[in-house]
Amino acid sequence: MSQAQEVNKLPIILTAIITVIATVAVLHLYGYLNFVNPEKGLELADYRVVTVGSEEAGSLRRNPAKHEAECVDGVLVLHASNMNGLSGVLKDSRDRVVRCINQAVPLAE
C-alpha cells in the first residue's frame, strides 16, 4: 500500500485569511460597510405626546418642526429637513421603535 502525501495546510489557511481581509477592505472602500460611531447615535430631538382635547393642545405653535415623519415598512422614520440626509427611527423611553400604519389621512372638509 502506498502512503498518501501530506499536504501543507498553512498556505490554504493564509489564503483564506487574506481573502477575508481583502473582501472586507474592498467592501469598506466602496461604502457597503457602515461602522456606527457613538456620535451617530445621538438624539435628534425630544418628543412627547399631546392628547387631543387637552389644555396643551391649544397652546401649540403654528410653526412646524424641522422634522418630517414617514412610515417605512411599518416603522416611523424621522427626517431632519435642516440637516441634509440625517434621518432616524422614532423610539420610546424603553428603546422600542414606534410602529405606524401606512394609511392616507382623510382631508377635512
Q: For the residues 72-91, what does the mean pLDDT come to?
A: 77
Domain regions of the chain by residue span: 7-35, 65-103
| 3-state SS, residue 50 | coil
> Are residues 20 and 30 in contact, defined by beta-carbon separation less than 8 angstroms?
no
What is the side-by-side strand order in the sheet with 87-89?
A: 67-72, 75-80, 87-89
- Give dist(CA 61, CA 65) in Å, integer: 9
In tens, the pLDDT along 47-72 reads 666 666 666 556 666 777 777 878 88
- Give dist(CA 79, CA 45) in Å, integer: 11
| pLDDT over 90 (residue 4) | no
| pLDDT at position 13 | 95
Q: For the residues 21-44, what does the mean pLDDT come to?
A: 77
